[in-house]
Structure 1
Amino acid sequence: MSKVIVISGIAQGMGREVSLMLAAKGYTICGFDIEKKHLDSLSSELTKLNANFHLETLSITESDKILKFKDSVIKKFGKVDTVVSNVGIGFFGPFEEVDLNKALQCFDINVIGCARLLQAFIPSMRKASQGKLIVMSSLVGQVPFPFESIYSATKFAIEGMVSSLRYEVSPFGIQVAMIQPAQVSTNFAAKAQKLPEKESPYFERCVRFIDRDNDLIRSATNPKQAAERIVKVIVSNRPKLFNQVDFMSTFFLGLNRFLPQKLKDKILLDHMNINV
């Protein structure tokens, strides 16, 4: 019987690439996104692959619709083997100047959105005594970057939440894993990068940070390369809790474990060209 996977934020980037790779392996693909036009084009590609699939247009903030989506998937295919929480938005800016209402929206999407998705599908996995929960975290879930305080906070929250729930669901045969990318060559960062006003005391360093970030993104792992590594986690019989998809995340997470704080700070600030 075909394995059934659910992916949030499936229509673009890594979510899309993962879905196509798994469809080629015979997986049944289910997912949702807010971008209908991209869902439509994904539907066409999945059809060409003769894949079984179920796609819907909805937002990770819509709790009732997520539950209805879950009901539709289970009614149609009888089970869900793997859930990939892939939806997330970036957030950039000096902490002193952060709009906290917008920060709250970021938490709602990145953290509570993940929780909505996992809560929806855990009961059926628990009853089946099997399943995998794969959650998209980030390098900044353990190594916070300057001017990304809110985004870092959401990823720290995700890592704490998922690390905790792992203990709760493992007795029911549910495995848990997190993906920790640094930069992937998409427009994800560009959507979040908004400079403060020129009068801001942080303006010049923010300019240098964004310029350096954009340089890194141009040479970063592309979505297809990242997806290949994510697929390996998904198909693994025993995935690790923490998984990297690029050299930068592996490098900085390694430094984070072993180096003293003062040296870690210098390496990070030099790397992002924002040392004073």
Structure 2
Amino acid sequence: MRHGIVILPQDPWLVAREKWQRAESLGFDHAWTYDHLSWRSLAGEPWGATVPTLTAAALVTDRIRLGTFVASPNFRHPVTFAKELATLDDISGGRLIAGLGSGGTGFDAFVLGQASLSPRERHERFTEFVDGLDELLRFESGSETAPESVGVGAGFSFDGAWYTARHSRMVGEPVQRPRMPFVLAANGPKGLALVSRVAEGWVTTGGDGLTGEQWWRAVAELSARLDEAAVAGGRDPLTLDRYLSLDSGGVFSLESADRYEELCGRAAELGFTDVISHWPRAEGIYAGREAVLDEVAGRLAEERDVRD
């Protein structure tokens, strides 16, 4: 199992830098930050931008993979975001994971004056967003692999219900081939079908509003539905990485090393390949002690030594 940590974009960079470097030195496999303009109970607190934060993190780390948790179409266009992702992947030396979601219904959905969308509209927009990114990030401008519909070197164009592009140009050849991995957040049947069609991984926070055993049952049911969607789409379910947000079921995973170990064990039993927790905050949501990170890292290092 691989282990990830979310570092919220709240600290001045002189403080945040140490956290990103420490996440790598502690042995975490991947580190993430939220892609929001502000977030829920922390809306009145400092909150930095996602891409600059990950770019800075890429420059002060060497090994750890970096990801968006998860990028939202609420305030993004596939063309501009594809260029940001491709540039960031280049800067990081091919360490980027593109976590993508359909966009929440809170502050981010309305701050730019958007109309309220139905669940169906949000899914249709998400599908168009993901498909646009997929094609753009695979596109090698001026090469023989350029889509025939636009001609070699002519740029990439598309017309959709939500997004339009005219001869868009990309940064260059993809650093990761055929492109960086996509990890999609989805719980509904259409979303899970999209995961099985286009993504390398799936991430879930489980059932909304559920806690305890109800949450774990919902996680198991969602994972089983992903299996069904993959089979229906002609894909081996085992080819999909599965990421579980451990802090979504009413318990903070890093309240203690024992708690973290327990939750990781339950995730492994359900077939998850990756788990993600949150860097302990001083107070409020995800409040905890950073000393727990050291204990968790020690246990994970011991496990790796045993496997090796």
Q: Higher relative contact order by CA 8 Å / sep ≥ 6: 1 or 2?
A: 1
